[in-house]
Amino acid sequence: MLKSFNEYRLDLGKKILFRDGEEVEIEPLTMQVLLYLIDNNTRYVDIEELHNRLWINKVVSDSAIRRTIVKLRAVLGDDSSNPTYIKSASRRGYRFICQLEDHVEQLQNAPAIESAEHHSGFKRNIILVVLLAAFLLVSWYTLEYRETSVAKTATINMEEKSSISFEDNLLDLFGRSATPTRHGSKPWLAFAHKIEKDSLYNLFLLNLNTKNLSQLTSDAFNYRTPLWVSENELVAIAVNGESCSLVRIELNNKGERVSSEILHSCNAGQLNLNFSQPSSDLFFSDRDNIDDSLNIFRFNLIDRSLSRVSSPANKGVGDYISSVSPNGDIIAFARTENGEKTELLVEELNSGELVNQINLNGDVTSLYWLSDSQLVFLNNERLSLLNIIDGRLQTANVPKDMVGLYPNRSDQHRPFAIRHNKRKYLLQESRNPFGDQRTKRIITFSNRSLSAAYSQSDDLLYYLYGKEDNRYIASRNEKYHLRTVPLKQQVQLLAVNPAKAAVLLQIGRRLAEFSLADQDLQYLTRESDDVQNGTYNRDGSKVLYAIKISDSWSVYAKDLNSAENELFIPSAIAVKAYRDGYLAILEDYQLARVSDSGEVTPLADMHVHLNINTAWAVGSKYVYYSKQQQDVITLYRIDLDTFEETSMVLARGTFDGRFAISRDGSKLVLTVEPTFQNNIYKAILPFE
């Protein structure tokens, strides 16, 4: 099948791109991104999805994925500021936007020689028809049986089992958990976890009896795939950019970290690591040099020797995942090229003799031994158990939200599963945000957009959050149900009334006041008004808001008692209460002081880089605003007495633009973008 867009034609089968009939040079991974964007051209694809689909079992930064997008745009000659092919949207991702046309590849006719060749052409057509019928038959068989074939073993006997089931969620921890491993005799579960989208993975230890959780690592490395190698020792992979290390971590009897050391430095940064207890060998994927193909290596923990494991798949490029049988005699490994075809090979470890080979579509994302003869693997939302002696293959469905399965050394039929939970927003408070010792705490989670504001009267934080199909406004131990707003409408908490128990909300483009006392909602502006930003005046009797009239913004004041509107600040786009007056952002993005009577005084021709949608806040002495450059969000603070400006990195790629500052400036609250929450569950295998 061919797809064409403008002067380009893409051969989906051969993965070749042509421009005006000439083949275009494009890297394999860049081609995979193009194919995925085209295949999902009806929607935006975010970086996290690209990572999960195309960079499987690899630790890469978001910036590395963005660089691949930059390469793809360069290949297509696309302009990111005025895109023809790939459009990006903040916090949504990338989308292929060019019109696509389907073409069926036609055979090129040879030049006509003699009419006598008509008969031979007819024969060729008959042969083509036969070959096509054979191809369709083989394709049907391949799809029906998932391209399963066996080499050097008995015929595979496939048996369908019921779907996998799950027991309790072991812990409800915000962020992403990965690669859990259970201690053989102690109630310890070690796993990798990161709390924010762009933060580093660290190792944690969970006591399954007491539910006590402790952090084992905190340095500038991504730690993954921890494995127990002795009673009180873990080995894990620590990734730093494109390089990696095998790290040993020693614990005391309380599960606390005592020491650590680097055992071996590697080049590949792959997450594949497994351990053979009988021989004290670690097996991992690596390459001799950066440009070499991947191989599986063996590292002995006793004599620190390193050797290469011979493999019939030792060719080309690809990713490896491997597992050694409990007795140390057999190694199974899956090798994938370009995220499509996977060879699952089982061979004797010492002789290298091939025992089984299964060809699969897509990646194998989990692989481990249930016993010396039973191999479990997860592939394309299917869980399989292969008996390498009699060739019996049992398969079962798994839910789409399950992304990994890991052995449980204390109960082999109750492995640990990693599952995606619903996306959640995070409200996070940072104390002393511009100080040397910043501390953070999580205030709440939400399955809907979060927003927050501090009361100017008592510096108490109020926040709006969602739980299931409900919205709530909360402060300290109080919670108020916002029932009267349809769930499909966007809601943001803008300000807290300093004189009564009420908050100002923006619902769509309308402003409304919500009474916390009687939980009554009163709309203040019309649905047709183009309104942005809003706050209360200093005594809480009026609402000040920016409204666009005839392509010009102005701030109006609405009396909450008389409902009268009056022009307060012409040519202004936002306003905040400050000391004995107000601060406003004018249409030319100049910061100005405003008196109660509406008199405007520009502040020393100081221009701040704000616009109508930029987050900003005012404390007792400073004005704060945020600015995003690529994936780094910087918070700026301007001293309103000296006009000196300081800055700090607020977040990296996780901030959605809204924040609040306490009046005394000691606390900053921000919302983190929706992120998948990966949790660890105990699963029940459906196999005999």
What Cα–Cα distance (Å) separates residue 277 from each residue in 264, 301, 302, 510?
19, 10, 12, 65
- Among candidate residues 223, 266, 274, the one with its CA nearest the CA of residue 244: 266
Q: What's residue 653's pLDDT?
A: 55
Residue 128 has pLDDT above 60, yes or no: no
Is residue 581 within 8 Å of residue 549, measured between CB atoms?
A: no
Residues 419-458 as b/e (b if ≥16 CB within 10 A, e otherwise) read bbeeebbbbbbbeebbeeeeeeeebbbbbbbbbbbbbbee
* CA 275 to chain centroid: 29
Write the single-letter amino acid at 674. Answer: P
Task: Provide the pLDDT confidence category of residue 167 given band limits of 50, 70 and 90.
Answer: confident
CATH of domain 2-103: 1.10.10.10
- What is the DSSP-derived secondary structure letter of residue 128? H
Mean pLDDT for the chain overall: 81
Mean pLDDT of 628-651: 79
Question: Does 600 or 111 have the greater pLDDT score?
Answer: 600
Calculate Rg over the CA atoms of the chain: 31
Residue 616 has pLDDT above 90, yes or no: no
> Which tens digits make up the pLDDT trace of 402-427?
888 999 988 888 999 988 776 677 78
CB atoms within 10 A of CB 187: 13
Spans of all domains in the chain:
2-103, 157-421+677-684
Strands (E) across 468-541 are located at 470-475, 478-481, 491-496, 502-507, 510-515, 521-523, 531-536
Q: Is 341 helix (H, G, I), strand (E, B) or coil?
A: strand
What Cα–Cα distance (Å) separates residue 400 from each residue in 172, 320, 378, 646, 677?
19, 23, 12, 47, 14
Q: What's residue 500's pLDDT?
A: 92
Q: Which two tokens stand for residue 272?
A: 């594949």
Residue 677 has pLDDT above 80, yes or no: no
> Which tens digits make up the pLDDT trace of 476-492?
878 999 888 877 788 99
The mean-pLDDT minimum among 50-59, 81-90, 343-352, 440-449 falls in: 50-59
Strands 510-515 and 521-523: antiparallel
Q: What's residue 158's pLDDT?
A: 65
Task: Provide the pLDDT confidence category of residue 104 given band limits of 50, 70 and 90.
Answer: low
Is residue 623 within 8 Å of residue 610, measured between CB atoms?
A: no
Share of the chain above pLDDT 70, in %: 81
Residue 637 has pLDDT above 70, yes or no: yes
Task: Provide the pLDDT confidence category of residue 494 given band limits of 50, 70 and 90.
Answer: very high
Task: Provide the pLDDT confidence category of residue 123 given band limits of 50, 70 and 90.
Answer: very low
Q: Is 519 helix (H, G, I), strand (E, B) or coil?
A: coil
Is residue 332 within 8 Å of residue 323, measured between CB atoms?
A: yes
Maximum CA pair distance of the chain? Answer: 101
| Class (C level, CATH) for 157-421+677-684 | mainly beta
Q: What's residue 339's pLDDT?
A: 55
Q: Is 54 helix (H, G, I), strand (E, B) or coil?
A: helix
The mean-pLDDT minimum among 251-255, 294-298, 405-409 falls in: 294-298
Mean pLDDT of 154-175: 71
- Among candidate residues 221, 181, 180, 227, the one with its CA nearest the CA of residue 201: 221
The mean-pLDDT minimum among 187-201, 442-456, 650-664 falls in: 650-664
What sign does the dihedral 174-178-182-188 (CA atoms) show? negative
Task: Provide the pLDDT confidence category of residue 319 given band limits of 50, 70 and 90.
Answer: low
Q: What's residue 357's pLDDT?
A: 85
State how far the Cα of 681 lies from the Cα of 171, in Å rounded to an integer. Answer: 8
